[in-house]
Amino acid sequence: MTNLYSVFFGFIHNPSVNQQNSNGIGHNNSEHQFNGFTRDDYCLDKVLAECNTIKNRDGFRDGVLLKCIDSKPMFTYLHYALFQSGSAPRINNLIGQCDPSPKSQYGAFEELFAIQKSASSPDTSLPSNRHAGFIVSCFKLLDENFKQHTLEKSWLSWTGAREIYKYSPRNWNLRKITLHRHSVM
């Protein structure tokens, strides 16, 4: 199967996660200031600036900035941007321009497979509704000897995508489930 899109994922680390004082007791990091702004303000300002860098990149097709709804997420924000297929080298150059913090994770991925609900519109653009939901699950092969081709063929089972596809409530308005593979350059 040919790749559908090249995808840029940028998982932005939440600087207030896992930080403790010398007694091992957590403290409220939103009180800590950077040039008059709280850490949360600084993080949001940073990711919004990165959004402009991403959307001005050659091959950019569509993108969305997602905010995690967990109370204390490891990654507060997620850049999810679609590029023309084969744009992985351009995306890898983009990563250096995004100024990732050491605990943030940025990468180029290829969209390998996608399934859509039959009732979905053929529109392939990302939802722009601020209440649209995304489920993002990431997996890493720990055993290099495991056959990647086998995983790709059986992805509907081991990711849980088949169950999500079959049993998701109508009010979720599920449009698409995709499998991405990290592009190694």
Q: How far apart are CA 94 and CA 52, in angstroms?
A: 12
Task: From 95, 173, 84, select the one nearest 134 (Cα to Cα).
Answer: 173
Question: What structural domains and CATH numbers belong to the chain?
Answer: 6-182 (3.30.70.100)
Q: Which class for 112: exposed (0-12), middle (13-18), buried (19 or more C-beta within 10 A)? A: middle
Q: What is the pLDDT along the chain (185 residues), one digit of tens a residue?
A: 455 789 999 999 877 665 543 344 444 444 444 444 455 667 888 899 999 999 999 999 999 999 988 888 889 999 999 999 888 888 988 988 887 778 899 999 988 888 876 655 555 677 767 667 788 887 777 776 667 778 888 999 999 999 998 898 888 888 888 888 888 75
Model confidence over 77-117: pLDDT tens digits? 999 999 998 888 889 889 888 877 788 999 999 888 888 76
Listed in sequence order, the residues at least 6 apart from 102 whose beta carbon sits closer than 8 Å to its beta carbon are 13
Q: How far apart are CA 84 and CA 59, in angstroms?
A: 5
